[in-house]
């Protein structure tokens, strides 16, 4: 076992200080459904929207599913749910009774729950206030029969408001992956996500810089459209691993638009899946 660094969010040692923090945090955890056995829960977070958080969530779920793990996605981005679309679950609606819900299944067998799978029309806006949305996310966890799941990925709403706070408090997160893009004001916006995880005593598995560069489909060369983001230095200073720099890949966004992300051949996320697998063995 590694030695304690006195920072539970980045340290993997299971010492007495982590255990006492966990006892306090566990008081707020919501119970799983009696029919669920979710073994590991990984949150995918971002400081702001549009950086590719949902794409990263779906790509990681696809990779873990390919590696033979029973995989699920809980789409907690209630007002901007894009997970069903990436998996081609457009005309699918969740089934259930007044007491419980059953996740939808993607073509490759990933279980998915999302608000868009409950609405009559996917274009209808969800105009609920924060506490109602937070309650909905909690219900996605407590009232869904998830059955056996090795890895659940939670697509968190961007930012550090009510709903991310509810997820941090009520779901037993094994760790989070922070997604950023080079256009973000990294030091301020990502710091908020890093600090929230530290405050909530949730382990940060690492950072993914998405749309880091543009990979030309014609010549294969990578171009840094936004110059140097300084993400390496940022990650080093905070003691958080930089897991991957993922280029802008037109093929990936086209697969998402067509609902075919499970066919992706992109290998840029492999290192992130490796890190998750290693950290949660």
Question: What residue ranges bind ligand ADP (CB under 6 A)?
Answer: 46, 49-55, 82, 210-211, 246, 248-249, 252-253, 256
Residue with Cβ nearer ligand ADP (152 or 246)? 246
Residue with Cβ nearer ligand ADP (12 or 253)? 253
Q: Report, in Å, the least distance between residue 210 CB and ligand ADP.
A: 5
Residue with Cβ nearer ligand ADP (51 or 202)? 51
Residue with Cβ nearer ligand ADP (150 or 222)? 222
Q: Report, in Å, the least distance between residue 226 CB and ligand ADP.
A: 13
Q: Report, in Å, the least distance between residue 253 CB and ligand ADP.
A: 3
Residue with Cβ nearer ligand ADP (8 or 44)? 44
Q: Report, in Å, the least distance between residue 83 CB and ligand ADP.
A: 9
Q: Report, in Å, the least distance between residue 73 CB and ligand ADP.
A: 12
SS (H, E, C) the chain: CCCCCCCCCCCCCCCHHHHHHHHHHHCCCCCCCCCCEEEEEEEEEECCCCCCHHHHHHHHHHHHHHCCCCEEEEECCCCCCCHHHHCCCCCCCCEECCCCEECEECCCCCEEECHHHCCCCCCCCCCCCHHHHHHHHHHHHHCECCCEEEEEEEECCCCCCHHHHHHHHHCCCCEEEEEECCCCCHHHHHHHHHHHHHHCCCCEEEEEEEEEEEECCCCCCEECCCCCCCHHHHHHHHCCCEEEEEEECHHHHHHHHCCCHHHCCCCCCHHHHHHHHHHCC
Residue with Cβ nearer ligand ADP (52 or 175)? 52
Q: Report, in Å, the least distance between residue 256 CB and ligand ADP.
A: 4
């Amino acid at each position: 076992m590694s030695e304690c660094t006195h920072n539970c969010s980045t340290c993997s040692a299971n010492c007495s200080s982590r255990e006492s923090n966990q006892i306090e945090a566990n008081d707020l955890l919501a119970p799983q459904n009696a029919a669920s056995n979710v073994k590991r829960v990984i949150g995918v977070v971002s400081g702001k929207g549009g950086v590719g958080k949902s794409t990263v969530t779906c790509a990681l779920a696809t990779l873990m599913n390919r590696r033979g793990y029973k995989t699920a996605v809980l789409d907690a981005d209630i007002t901007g749910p894009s997970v069903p679309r990436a998996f081609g679950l457009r005309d699918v609606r969740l089934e259930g009774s007044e007491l419980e819900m059953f996740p939808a299944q993607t073509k490759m067998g990933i279980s998915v729950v999302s608000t868009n799978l409950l609405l009559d029309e996917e274009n209808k806006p969800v105009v609920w206030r924060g506490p109602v949305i937070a309650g909905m996310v909690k219900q996605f966890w407590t009232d869904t029969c998830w059955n056996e799941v090795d890895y659940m990925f939670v697509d968190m709403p961007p930012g550090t408001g009510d709903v991310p706070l509810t997820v941090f408090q009520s779901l037993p997160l094994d760790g989070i992956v922070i997604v950023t893009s080079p256009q973000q004001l990294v030091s301020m916006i990502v710091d908020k996500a890093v600090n929230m995880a530290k405050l909530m005593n949730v382990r940060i598995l690492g950072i993914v810089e998405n749309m880091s560069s543009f990979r030309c489909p014609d010549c294969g060369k990578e171009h840094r459209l936004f110059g140097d983001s300084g993400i390496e230095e940022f990650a080093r200073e905070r003691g958080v691993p930089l897991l991957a720099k993922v280029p802008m890949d037109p093929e990936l966004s086209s697969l998402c638009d067509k609902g075919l992300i499970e066919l992706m051949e992109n290998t840029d996320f492999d290192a992130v899946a490796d890190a998750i697998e290693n950290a949660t063995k």
